[in-house]
Amino acid sequence: MEHKSKYPISHVVGFLFSLVLTFVAVFVTLKMNVSYTIVMWIIGSLAVIQAGLQLFMFMHVTEGEDGKTNVMNMAYAVFVAIVIVAGSIWVLTSGHAAH
């Protein structure tokens, strides 16, 4: 758990990957000639990957004796977030379309 190395390698790697993911997302949005749905799926996936990088390489979610609890807590929070976002959009837009 303690950083033994003299060089913050995981932070540097996480930072570089984050930069790449950000610019790839911008490139896909502006330059790729594919449908809206495909663009949203690609950049949405890139965002999830980048959030994971932050969680594991910057925040070290797994470390400490409560590491497993942290991971389960985050997984549950993400599950609730997906239910709230996807569920709300689904219910409210389909309800609106039906009336």
Partner 1 sequence: MSANVNHSLPLEYQTEQNRLNILGFWIFLGAEIVLFATLFAVYGVLGHRYAGGPTPSDIFKLNDVLIETLLLLTSSFTCGLAVFFMRQRDMKKMLVWFIITLLLGAGFLFMEIREFIHYVHEGATMQTSAFLSSFFVLLGTHGAHVTFGIIWAIMLVIQLLQRGLTPVTARKMFIISLYWHFLDVVWIFIFTFVYLKGMVA
Residues that bind partner 1 (CB under 8 A): 1-3, 6, 8, 11, 14-15, 18-19, 22, 25-26, 29-30, 36, 39-40, 43-44, 46-47, 50-51, 54-55, 57-59, 61, 64-66, 69-70, 73-74, 76-78, 80-82, 84-85, 87-89, 92-93
CA 14 to centroid of chain Cα atoms? 13
To partner 1, the closest distance from the beta carbon of 14 in angstroms equals: 7
Residue keyed to tokens 């610019």? 23
The tokens of 44 are what? Answer: 């949405």
CB atoms within 10 A of CB 53: 19
